[in-house]
Structure 1
Amino acid sequence: MNESLLRGLVPAVIGVLVRRGADFAAAEDAVQDALVEVVRKDVEGPPRDLKGWLITVAWRKFLDAARAEGSRRRREELVDAEPAPGPGETVDDTLQLYFLCAHTSLTPASAVALTLRAVGGLTTRQIAQAYLVPEATMAQRISRAKRTVSGVRFDRHGDVATVLRVLYLVFNEGYSGDVDLAAEAIRLTRQLAAMTRHEEVAGLLALMLLHHARRPARTGPDGRLVPLAEQDRGRWDTGLITEGIGILQTALARDRLGEFQAQAAVAALHADAQSAEETDWVQIVEWYDELVRLTGSPVARLNRAVAVGEADGARAGLAALAELDPALPRYTAVAAHLHEHDGDPATAARLYAQAARSTPNIPERDHLTRQAARLNARLRTSGGPAGQPHPLP
């Protein structure tokens, strides 16, 4: 059975059940039960009309659950309403399901879990493994999320920006367990892009593709983090880069710039450079200016300080950094990088060590620790400059 095809049908089947009168939580449970049945049936050969078969089985699972609750009157109404088995219904409620799962009443963690379950078709066990939490914990989180949105009308227009933030959160989790969340986020964003011509949906898809293209080069054979400037660009996926840049150019041509398009433009400039030395940092600064204008994000300002340091020199980067809150995540690592470029290895070594102690990310912590050790070793050996600076990851 084609797992990707199967999971792609899940939101449409849930939508059919909801339109027939099932509440969202019960519909989602019934579809998950139907997925178990289709896996069993695959031994005999998959149904010819997979969507229609899933709808029929899921509806009967829902009816069984309704009967078990002893709701006689509701049961009779539902049984009378049951259509005869036939081709799958053509109305696609997937877009509304995206909006429902990213409802503003949900926490980001709950919205992510519900999206992966209801839109992505993943099991509770798979989601729990991906987020490294017990299955019972994830089951409770999903159950609470379903109860929260069960009373929300299914036909109301949702917020695309909220949906995109949920998908971006999924993508940033990367890979763990037996589910590649980065690939799953790309699959779901492709699905969303096929349903809407929204420029920011295209921008997010382009951003994901451009970042994902560099994934094979991000770690060395020993598992160490490889900074962008040191990556073997021959290992980058040129097919994904070409696709991402094409999607971005189409979105930018509509002249409705958004933050994900601006981020994708930065990623495209990195991807387009044949070497780190050929990176167009001046244009990258300009795109960060746009991103700061659009969002006011402190993280965007921090990344802009790095770009300014590359385009106009370390002193200019340090001046831009001085305008920001030192409590920002990665502030100290950026300061270390800029001080090293400015020819102050002793300060840089101290800041690299300080940044390593404060980051929860183990690969990044190891990288920063090695940076500090490299500078300290050279200072002890030569008593002079610590050599060429190594870039941030």
Structure 2
Amino acid sequence: MTDAPAADALATVVREEWGRLTSLLLARFRRLDLVEDALADAVETAARRWDRDGIPDNPGGWLHTAARRRVLDRLRAESMAQRKVPLLVVEAEGREGSPVLADPGDLVEDDLLRLVLMCTHPALDPAAASALALRLVLGVSTADIARLFLVPEATMAARVTRAKRKIVTAGIPFAVPSADVLPDRLDSVAQTAYLAFTAGYAPGSGPDAVRTGLAGEAIRLVRVVLRLRPDEPVLLALLALMLLQHSRRDARVDAEGAIVLLPDQDRSRWHRDEIDEGVALAHSPALSGPLTVQAAGYAVQAAIAVEHATAPTADATRWDVIVARYDDLVALAPTPSARLARAVAVAEAQGPRAGLAALAGLDDDLAHSHRLPSVRAELLARADALAEADAAYAVAIERCGNDAERALLKERRAALHERHP
């Protein structure tokens, strides 16, 4: 059995570097089936050997080397059996430098964008394409992707599996498209970046309160695409939203890694340069004309973020304006997440009972989410319905898969018990 240090090290490298490792191997071999099997075999081998031999100095490099060798072994076996791919084996063995992708030469030199474009092939459903890119390229776990899409993990696992199977069986190439296809894939790329950013600031599982590295990579991806499409409204609005949210990263957790809620954050730790850039982008002339639903949704969320970022104190927040913005967002796309966020704003503007009323009808849509019962618990506590609040906290704690969020929920439930022993 793997000891705790080795197991922890392996869990960390899988969580933080799976996407990068997948990207490197796909860039070299362009065989999704072999890459996934090889990485899984490498992790299984590491679980046995790191306990015995010690944790390597470069765990990610160790997994990459082991997986690469496994792919080459499989290619040799296929070559012997079918006599069809010997040149691919020779070519792969000879590439010891940076991976080379089949690039027509007119797209920006950025591996992350290339691989996201590969995953967002038009033959795939846009939602499935984004889920596939999140899993393969950015390393977001299937459980966390399921939470982003508000579906059970088994459902998302099946969707991702079907998408991968379609790529393999239909022979969709893992090749870099030319720049002229970017407009057709722009919405999927933007959605992928948005979901990756959300996963960074609301991890559904694991120990971290925030994963700023994942959020930062999502921002970088949008900046890269924006260099290709500098006046694209969907990108301008999305980058504004991301920067305004990202500006608060240093104030979101305390020295022990515990979550600090927005009203309690030290606003002097917010990054003013990012706020200024985000506000400027949110007021871009390109966002003043007719917008697609997706671009308009990001623009409205950016406008909400501007209200939070520019309020001098928590008490000075213009909650009535924020409620109006959420009304606009719900009118555009009445998603459960938007309706839940609107209910929180209504509670701040009009009181907890109004917020509770705004939660009506969300239980079926958010049946697996811990956020609905956690919001309900907080509002019930404010309304002095302590027994019902306690029951709602229990549901939220049971559903929550993130250690830091669960700790916060337990802390708030304990405070409730102090009020009503």
For the Cα contact (< 8 Å) 2:300–2:329, is it kept in 1? yes
1:91 paired with 2:106, answer yes
Structure with the larger RCO, 1 or 2 (CA within 8 Å, 6+ apart): 2
State the alpha-carbon separation in 2 of the partners of residues 306 and 128 from structure 1: 27
Instruction: Give the corresponding residue for 2:278.
Output: 244
1:254 paired with 2:304, answer no
Q: Please report how far the alpha carbon of residue 364 of structure 1 lies from its aligned counterpart in structure 2 after TM superposition.
A: 1.0
State the alpha-carbon separation in 2 of the partners of residues 259 and 208 from structure 1: 13
Residue 401 of structure 2 aligns to a residue whose secondary structure is coil
Instruction: Give the corresponding residue for 2:4.
Output: none
Tell me which amino acid in the other structure corresponds to 1:91: D
1:264 to 283, 302, 323: 302
1:168 to 191, 194, 199: 194
Instruction: Give the corresponding residue for 1:365.
Output: 406
Residue 174 of structure 1 aligns to a residue whose secondary structure is helix
Q: Please report how far the alpha carbon of residue 254 of structure 1 lies from its aligned counterpart in structure 2 after TM superposition.
A: 3.4
State the alpha-carbon separation in 1 of the partners of residues 264 and 343 from structure 2: 20
For the Cα contact (< 8 Å) 2:134–2:140, is it kept in 1? no
Q: Please report how far the alpha carbon of residue 345 of structure 1 lies from its aligned counterpart in structure 2 after TM superposition.
A: 3.0
Superposition TM-score, scaled by structure 1 size: 0.64
Tell me which amino acid in the other structure corresponds to 1:220: D
**For residues 269-300 of structure 1, what are the alpha-carbon distances to aligned partners after superposition, in whole Å with 9 as ceiling and x for unaligned?**
11111111111111111111111111120110
Assess, with a 3 A threshold, how the Cα gap between structure 1 residues 255 and 282 changes in structure 2: closer, same or farther: farther
**For residues 295-346 of structure 1, what are the alpha-carbon distances to aligned partners after superposition, in whole Å with 9 as ceiling and x for unaligned?**
1201101111111111112221111112322561211111112112223233
Assess, with a 3 A threshold, how the Cα gap between structure 1 residues 282 and 358 changes in structure 2: closer, same or farther: same
State the alpha-carbon separation in 2 of the partners of residues 313 and 224 from structure 1: 27
1:204 to 211, 227, 238: 238
1:191 paired with 2:212, answer no
State the alpha-carbon separation in 1 of the partners of residues 165 and 378 from structure 2: 44
For the Cα contact (< 8 Å) 1:102–1:115, is it kept in 2? no
1:274 to 278, 294, 312: 312
State the alpha-carbon separation in 1 of the partners of residues 404 and 29 from structure 2: 44
Tell me which amino acid in the other structure corresponds to 2:197: F
State the alpha-carbon separation in 2 of the partners of residues 339 and 195 from structure 1: 49
Unaligned 5+ residue runs, structure 1? 1-6, 15-21, 30-64, 76-87, 117-126, 133-139, 381-393
1:103 paired with 2:121, answer yes
For the Cα contact (< 8 Å) 1:349–1:371, is it kept in 2? no
State the alpha-carbon separation in 2 of the partners of residues 371 and 356 from structure 1: 11
Q: Please report how far the alpha carbon of residue 353 of structure 1 lies from its aligned counterpart in structure 2 after TM superposition.
A: 2.8
State the alpha-carbon separation in 2 of the partners of residues 160 and 324 from structure 1: 31
**For residues 230-277 of structure 1, what are the alpha-carbon distances to aligned partners after superposition, in whole Å with 9 as ceiling and x for unaligned?**
111111111111111111110433342511111111111111111111
Pair member with larger Rg: 1
Q: Please report how far the alpha carbon of residue 170 of structure 1 lies from its aligned counterpart in structure 2 after TM superposition.
A: 2.2
Instruction: Give the corresponding residue for 2:396.
Output: 355
State the alpha-carbon separation in 1 of the partners of residues 241 and 301 from structure 2: 7
Instruction: Give the corresponding residue for 1:39.
Output: none
For the Cα contact (< 8 Å) 1:349–1:373, is it kept in 2? no
State the alpha-carbon separation in 2 of the partners of residues 220 and 179 from structure 1: 14
User: Paired residues, what number?
Assistant: 295
Q: Please report how far the alpha carbon of residue 227 of structure 1 lies from its aligned counterpart in structure 2 after TM superposition.
A: 0.8
State the alpha-carbon separation in 1 of the partners of residues 385 and 280 from structure 2: 42
Assess, with a 3 A threshold, how the Cα gap between structure 1 residues 217 and 366 changes in structure 2: closer, same or farther: same
Residue 362 of structure 2 aligns to a residue whose secondary structure is coil
For the Cα contact (< 8 Å) 2:130–2:189, is it kept in 1? no
Q: Please report how far the alpha carbon of residue 186 of structure 1 lies from its aligned counterpart in structure 2 after TM superposition.
A: 0.9
Unaligned 5+ residue runs, structure 2? 1-19, 36-75, 92-102, 145-159, 202-207
Assess, with a 3 A threshold, how the Cα gap between structure 1 residues 149 and 280 changes in structure 2: closer, same or farther: farther
For the Cα contact (< 8 Å) 1:326–1:332, is it kept in 2? no
**For residues 94-123 of structure 1, what are the alpha-carbon distances to aligned partners after superposition, in whole Å with 9 as ceiling and x for unaligned?**
78875443225255442235555xxxxxxx
Instruction: Give the corresponding residue for 1:338.
Output: 379
Q: Please report how far the alpha carbon of residue 167 of structure 1 lies from its aligned counterpart in structure 2 after TM superposition.
A: 1.1
Residue 340 of structure 1 aligns to a residue whose secondary structure is helix
